[in-house]
A and B are shown apart, each in its own frame.
Chain A
């Protein structure tokens, strides 16, 4: 990455969603086209001098490669830079811009045949919008599905552009809006009300299952949404290497490897109750076996379900839960071979 800043002239300022966001397009001289080239999904760092201090911010590029260099900035309440861009920046001004970079990028390939699912919320659309356009333009055998969450119909960035894409590429692009607070008078009914959550994701995938089987999932929203979408996809056995995510505001904190804590477990087994100490690195099954008891178990890999027990008090973390349905988990069923304690007092029963 080139750490230098380049001074670029603003060629166009366009307010989005009634001025709550601003698209800024830059003049890119041919001599800088290569240095400032980008992949769909990448971002640029801008440098401003405001309040006598240097301010740096990164914004996703909202156009695909080949189109003008453009960023789209949503106002942050009280935000110094985003409001400066919205209120004061005008065509002809110059801004210092660093070469685009970022791991969250989609490189279209005309010979690839992929199904891309995009999950976005709010201004998370900006990199996704670039990616969707890149796929529709440069990857003719692939399809794109966008599930896009917003508060209401008035706050959909690129709403009209997306409608046009859906109309012009009906066979290759589907657009579904999820609105958390739809206003009654404008939006009769979005695809779903609520948030881009596990249920919405499941419904979307079932409604438009992949045809092209090289499937990629792209997520961009606030940290909490990213975590939720990621977890929902993992729960559907989507391999991690097919999931690509970037969050804005607030960090996503995926807890990949959970270790347990030492605990005391009350175990109901064969009509009797036993007190079993569980070490931090021990599964419940191993702790119970170490105590000389004989609970049911078999595969020890979370597949068979033989070691299933009911958690009646306390909390555990399961490394894997292949043998359980979501409804089993909701009822409190656990796989003792896959469970470590995450609270220091537990009660489980093999008799229920």
Chain B
């Protein structure tokens, strides 16, 4: 009998087959995050991203419009460009110097007359186009040249994601992180959207927000979440914000949505953060974090730090007191909510292969976990029907 974990078989979290299926049918068929808009700042700059099975690069033309292509030379398939960089006006494959212009047209085949005495029809050998767009200051790519627009894909959930204008904020480079979690990507998503755990796993790290008053729901496969500041924090909120405001008053609270598949945002009164989940294997997942803060002077930041110091100096701490910790590096004694989440995800993944694993009843605050499993099943079904 198939062992189930709510709507999905436990296999969905451990097997290579499920991983391959999700790569093919989910991550290769949806809009994928590809960076922040400022990663491609000027004509000639490019960036490439692995999006499921596809490697797609984005390049800016002289008209300041972005183009996206599959990063595959039409000759022998060599990847044309490396991670990031700047070109002048053409892209040349390193292997045989086939050269493409920024519209993807093949414009030069070296020694063409000698190597291809019967001719080569360059007009049929342009780079395969993909799609690119910018939304909330983020780059998105889609492998299809004519996909449903981002308005179609995210339009319904967009109004529930907060009044932030990420394109007007400035990245805080020290907060940029990339790390691996030894758990299936869905475990990481489910942890992100589990409302029940906020007051427990993070009892001493995220209590500046009032989890009991959280409002959350779904628009298609996309999850939206908002919660207000807790009373202690809300009293003198303007004074207590650690950094200058990024949204106009009177907006308050934390918006923490999870867009499908695995695109988490976390935005509050004073910061905007992304949490990008990329499956690397059935039990290995990469998370990328980037943070943007107010476009304000060092002095503004200094003033806010001073004014909020009295709130934060005694705030939070380890979930377990030192006496219960297993050692100095025990995540449960870290006082860091990310370390707490990673720990919980990895401890959960470990049990999934046990023959004795049997999932318990889902709580109200875990309804998003179950709903996300349904979203996966629905998406897979639609895609399989389409192929």
Q: Mark B94-109, 1 if CB is under 8 A from A, else 0.
A: 0000010111000110
A163 within 8 A of B: no
Q: Out of A111, A205, A304, which one reaches B64, CB within 8 Å?
A: A205
- Given A113-B149, A141-B155, A212 and B134 contact (CB-CB distance below 8 Å): yes
Of all chain A residues, the one with the shortest Cβ separation from B152 is A111
B84 within 8 A of A: no
Complex Cα gap A350–B63 (Å): 32
A303 within 8 A of B: yes
B132 within 8 A of A: yes
Complex Cα gap A239–B64 (Å): 12
> Secondary structure of the A side of the interface?
loop
Complex Cα gap A239–B62 (Å): 11
Complex Cα gap A141–B156 (Å): 11
Contact at B90–A213, with CB atoms within 8 Å? no
Q: Out of B66, B99, B110, B151, which one reaches A213, CB within 8 Å?
A: B66
Q: Out of B64, B103, B151, which one reaches A206, CB within 8 Å?
A: B64
Of all chain A residues, the one with the shortest Cβ separation from B61 is A237
Contact at B90–A322, with CB atoms within 8 Å? yes
B175 within 8 A of A: no
Contact at A299–B99, with CB atoms within 8 Å? yes
Q: Out of A112, A210, A239, A303, which one reaches B90, CB within 8 Å?
A: A303
- Name the residue among A111, A113, A213, A303 with the largest chain B CB count within 10 angstroms: A213
Contact at B101–A113, with CB atoms within 8 Å? no
Complex Cα gap A236–B151 (Å): 27
Q: What's the interface size class on A, roughly? A: 20 to 34
Contact at A237–B102, with CB atoms within 8 Å? yes
Q: How far is the CB of A199 from chain B (nearest CB, A)?
A: 14
- Name the residue among B89, B99, B150 with the largest chain A CB count within 10 angstroms: B89
Of all chain A residues, the one with the shortest Cβ separation from B134 is A211
B133 within 8 A of A: yes
Complex Cα gap A304–B89 (Å): 10
User: Chain A contacts of B64 at CB under 8 A?
Assistant: 205-206, 209-210
Complex Cα gap A206–B60 (Å): 12
Q: How far is the CB of A246 from chain B (nearest CB, A)?
A: 21
User: Chain B contacts of A112 at CB under 8 A?
Assistant: 149, 151
User: Chain B contacts of A110 at CB under 8 A?
Assistant: 151
User: Chain B contacts of A302 at CB under 8 A?
Assistant: 107
- Given A322-B89, A322-B90, A111 and B151 contact (CB-CB distance below 8 Å): yes
B305 within 8 A of A: no
Q: Out of B66, B132, B150, which one reaches A113, CB within 8 Å?
A: B150
Contact at B151–A113, with CB atoms within 8 Å? yes
Contact at B155–A237, with CB atoms within 8 Å? no
Contact at B108–A300, with CB atoms within 8 Å? yes
Complex Cα gap A12–B236 (Å): 58
User: Chain A contacts of B61 at CB under 8 A?
Assistant: 236-238
User: Chain B contacts of A89 at CB under 8 A?
Assistant: none
Contact at B89–A141, with CB atoms within 8 Å? no
Contact at A215–B63, with CB atoms within 8 Å? yes
Complex Cα gap A141–B151 (Å): 6
A233 within 8 A of B: yes
Q: Mark A100-140, 1 if CB is under 8 A from B, else 0.
A: 00000000001111000000000000000000000000001
Contact at B108–A299, with CB atoms within 8 Å? yes
A323 within 8 A of B: yes
Contact at A213–B132, with CB atoms within 8 Å? yes
Complex Cα gap A5–B112 (Å): 59
- Given A213-B65, A213-B133, A237 and B151 contact (CB-CB distance below 8 Å): no
User: Chain B contacts of A209 at CB under 8 A?
Assistant: 64
Of all chain A residues, the one with the shortest Cβ separation from B68 is A213
Q: Out of A111, A215, A233, A300, which one reaches B149, CB within 8 Å?
A: A111
Complex Cα gap A270–B151 (Å): 60
- Given A237-B102, A300-B108, A303-B90, A111 and B65 contact (CB-CB distance below 8 Å): no
Q: Mark A148-172, 1 if CB is under 8 A from B, else 0.
A: 0000000000000000000000000
B167 within 8 A of A: yes
Complex Cα gap A210–B131 (Å): 15
User: Chain B contacts of A213 at CB under 8 A?
Assistant: 65-66, 131-134
Q: Out of A206, A215, A300, A323, which one reaches B89, CB within 8 Å?
A: A323
Enumerate 20 A-B pairs (CB-CB under 8 Å) in ascending A order: A110-B151, A111-B149, A112-B151, A113-B133, A113-B149, A141-B151, A206-B64, A210-B64, A214-B133, A237-B61, A237-B62, A237-B101, A238-B65, A299-B99, A300-B108, A303-B89, A303-B101, A303-B107, A304-B108, A322-B107
Taking Cβ atoms with an 8 Å cutoff, the residues of A that contact B are: 110-113, 140-141, 205-206, 209-215, 233, 235-239, 299-304, 322-323
